[in-house]
A = this chain, B = another copy of it.
Amino acid sequence: MPSEFELIARYFVQRNEGETTGVALGAGDDCALLVPTPGQQLAVSVDTSVVDVHFPAGAPAWAVGHRALAVSLSDLAAMGAWARWCTMAVTLPEADEAWLDAFSQGFHALCREYGVALVGGDVTRGELSISVAVHGEVPVGAALCRSGGQADDIIAVTGPLGGGHGGLRAWQQGRRDLDDPLLARYLLPQPRLAAGLALRGLAHCAIDISDGLLADLSHLCDASRLGAELDMTQLPLATGLEALLGTQDARHAALCGGDDYELLFSLPASSLDEARRRLRECGVDLWPVGRLRDGAGIAGVDTRAIKGWQHFPGGSS
């Protein structure tokens, strides 16, 4: 059986053929040495994906690799930052080389797609989980924070919702074909990095939808000290979601399901056309779903009956 060092070398260091801009020293020493771009702030985030919590035990390893990186990159997208570097710590029960091979292929393919360099890693023994820390750059003053929303801003999203939850339900029903649109939304989310960049200077605030539209809109509202009004009839639903769940549960999934990884943002009505134009250039649409307003709370939905996904549910209201 190969050693920890051999696994790291074979599946992570040697395959790291992508971007090397700004990497003075890559993986293989005690630290990587990176060269930040003058005048840019460093945007940093970390997300952990745990088996049977964030992805099912039987998910294809390459999809697990893709997904673990995608959900972290999504945080950079929500900040309007451009992705530069990442580190990846994987914990797995045994040194399963076939699994690691496919996992690292999925991971590195997404690295290449967005020009991200994997600059450090750790392989440890334990229950399967992957923790990815991402590093992006954004010019001073250009980041899309949660706190910048303004009353009367239009609230909009970059894509149809509910697919993350719908894909989980489809998986639980035995579907396994990742060409299925719902399964793809669940297991192969696309980080909206180009969209985040396009929204710089237009959006007042942004967040990615990982906990569900309602929960993440609450985070935006709390940070911006505003309330919001949603228009349930305007919620874009993921392809195949109504067929799977029926209209009422599909809307519920779009509101609360989470794991969609679209951007949720606010902008003045006067910027709507320009934002739509820029997003289309990135291959993304813009769906208005409501409006920010003075006050607190989210109107237009019954928030008592529904809650976003939380890993330790309870407590908060």
Supposing A1-B313, A91-B48 touch, asked if A34 and B25 sit within 8 A by C-beta, the answer is no
Q: Flag if A146 contacts B78 (CB, 8 Å).
A: no
Within 8 A of B (CB), among A122-157: 122-127, 129, 131, 133, 135-136, 138, 140, 143, 145-147
Interface membership of A65, Cβ < 8 A: no
- Residues of B contacting A28 in the complex (Cβ-Cβ under 8 angstroms): 146, 223
Chain A interfacial residues counted at CB < 8 A: 76
Choose from B31, B43, B49 the contact partner of A79 (Cβ within 8 Å).
Answer: B31
A residues 1-21 in Cβ contact with B at 8 Å? 1-7
> Max chain B CB contacts within 10 Å: which of A31, A41, A44, A133?
A31
Q: Shortest Cβ distance from A11 into chain B, in angstroms? A: 12
Given contacts A1-B315, A4-B312, A87-B133, contact A122 B29 (CB under 8 A): no
Also in contact, A33 and B43, with CB within 8 A (given A50-B126, A91-B50, A91-B129): yes
Q: Given A44-B32, A44-B135: A314 and B1 within 8 A (CB)?
A: yes
Q: A32-B44, A43-B32, A129-B129 are in contact. Are A313 and B3 (CB under 8 A)?
A: yes
Kindly provide the distance from the CB of A74 to the nearest chain B CB, expressed in whole angstroms.
Answer: 8
B207 touches A30 (CB 8 A): yes
Q: For A136, what are the chain B residues with a Cβ–Cβ distance below 8 Å?
A: 31
Residue A278 at the chain B interface, CB threshold 8 Å: no
**Given A30-B146, A30-B207, A89-B133: 14 more A-B contacts, CB < 8 Å:** A3-B312, A5-B316, A6-B315, A30-B78, A30-B79, A31-B81, A33-B138, A35-B42, A42-B42, A42-B135, A47-B122, A48-B131, A120-B133, A125-B312
